Amino acid sequence: MGDSDLSRVVVAGGTGLVGRALVKALLAQDAEVVVITRHPGSTVLPAGARAQGWDRLAEALEGSDAVFNLAGEGIADRRWSPRRKKALLESRVGTTEDLVEGLRACGHRPAVLVNASAIGYYGAQDDTPVSELTPAGKGFLPEVCMAWEAAALPARDLGVRVVLPRIGVVLAREGGALPKMALPVRMFLGSRLGSGHQGLSWIHRHDLVSLFLEAARNPAWEGPCNATAPEPVSQETFIRALAKRLHRPLLPVPGFLTDAALRLLLGEMGRDLLLRGAYVHPMKAEAQGFAFRYPTPEEALENLL
Ligand SMILES: NC(=O)c1ccc[n+]([C@@H]2O[C@H](COP(=O)([O-])OP(=O)(O)OC[C@H]3O[C@@H](n4cnc5c(N)ncnc54)[C@H](OP(=O)(O)O)[C@@H]3O)[C@@H](O)[C@H]2O)c1
């Protein structure tokens, strides 16, 4: 089977940190892009892209070649109250279900659905390398990711290839985790968090966009695939690389203090996103021969900072 064409593409959640870059890359390759957004009337998109609301999904999907789904409330935007957790879950599962229903209603369906998932699937792991064969972890994030992936899989019954990139911490200049991590370091307030031994599995946004495009084009990509750089590191190694890049020292704060402070300030979110982690390896991407432009934290940080 040859590579899938990407002439007409739908990007749900195409206004976010990852989606904006993906839309730009698609437009640069002369694709016709429809962005599904909650605010089709007011969203400003790059020239050439068209905004459409969730109520006109089937119309957007009809006759397109591929659909990417990146929609979901921001996981790290605020503390996880029970209400917030419900919104985090429902904004992912609900949008994915809507997309699958939209696909069902199509006469001419896209060949592929690339539906975002996250390394949160694996939950907190020790320093044993994690691959796509590692089972789901325990807790809120694994539950969200399992439900999110399960909502996408019925598209297979419609003859649509489903790819589920389990995305690591996305590094980009203008948003997401990196500016938040860099700020205290710039202010001479950087330190390791907790023990610092927790795995930090990251990916440069440029590589993530390339991986999404490759996964959509190449029919050999199917099911879950880790969208992380080949060199996951400990939180302490990452923050040291960041401090070195910014020519700043780190504060020798005892681990138990940052641990207690983050749990107090951010609750379960601080614990699960900052104090725990996993060393996730992109086994499937590497098996496909995917070439990362920024394989190490040093190379990514040099480009971004
Ligand atoms: N960034 C990371 O480090 C990272 C890591 C792992 C996984 N991921 C996953 O990858 C996806 C894209 O990440 P991102 O950083 O680009 O996210 P983002 O910047 O927060 O963008 C997500 C988009 O989802 C849409 N959205 C938000 N709430 C929604 C809701 N309740 N219903 C429907 N749509 C909603 C928004 O579009 P409109 O406002 O235009 O509707 C928004 O632009 C997310 O699902 C995220 O969980 C990201």
What Å distances lie between residue 196 and 56, 154, 237, CA to CA? Answer: 46, 39, 8
Give the span between the Cα atoms of 134 and 70, in whole angstroms. 23
Which position has the token pair 């659909």? 67
* 30 occurs within a structural domain: yes
Predicted local confidence at residue 1, as pLDDT: 46
**Residue 40 corresponds to which tokens in the numbers above?**
């089709």
Nearest CA to ligand 1 atom 2: 170
* 160 occurs within a structural domain: yes
* 227 occurs within a structural domain: yes
Please name which of 208, 200, 265 lies closest in space to residue 233, comparing C-alpha atoms: 200
Give the span between the Cα atoms of 19 and 64, in whole angstroms. 17
* 253 occurs within a structural domain: yes
* 140 occurs within a structural domain: yes
Percent of the chain residues past pLDDT 70, beyond the cut: 99
CA 161 from chain centre, in angstroms, equals 19
Give the span between the Cα atoms of 202 and 206, in whole angstroms. 12
Cβ–ligand 1 distance for 75 under 6 Å, the answer yes
Nearest CA to ligand 1 atom 31: 91
pLDDT mean over 252-271: 94
Which residue from 10, 11, 17, 212 has its CB within 8 A of the most atoms of ligand 1, so it is best to mutate? 17
* 17 occurs within a structural domain: yes
Q: Is 118 exposed, middle or buried (0-12, 13-18, 19+ CB in 10 A)?
A: buried
* 233 occurs within a structural domain: yes
Render pLDDT for 155-211 as a digit per residue (tens, 0 to 9).
Answer: 999 999 999 999 999 999 999 999 999 999 999 999 999 999 999 999 999 999 999
| CATH value at residue 283 | 3.40.50.720
Which position has the token pair 């929609």? 71
Longest CA span, the chain: 61
Cβ–ligand 1 distance for 177 under 6 Å, the answer yes
* 3 occurs within a structural domain: no
| Residue 301 and residue 222 in contact, taking contact as beta carbons nearer than 8 Å | no
Predicted local confidence at residue 162, as pLDDT: 98
Q: Count structural domains, the chain.
A: 1
Domain limits for position 20:
8-304
Render pLDDT for 72-115 as a digit per residue (tens, 0 to 9).
Answer: 999 999 999 999 999 999 999 999 999 999 999 999 999 999 99
Compute, in angstroms, the gap from residue 96 CA to the centroid of ligand 1. 12
Cβ–ligand 1 distance for 201 under 6 Å, the answer no
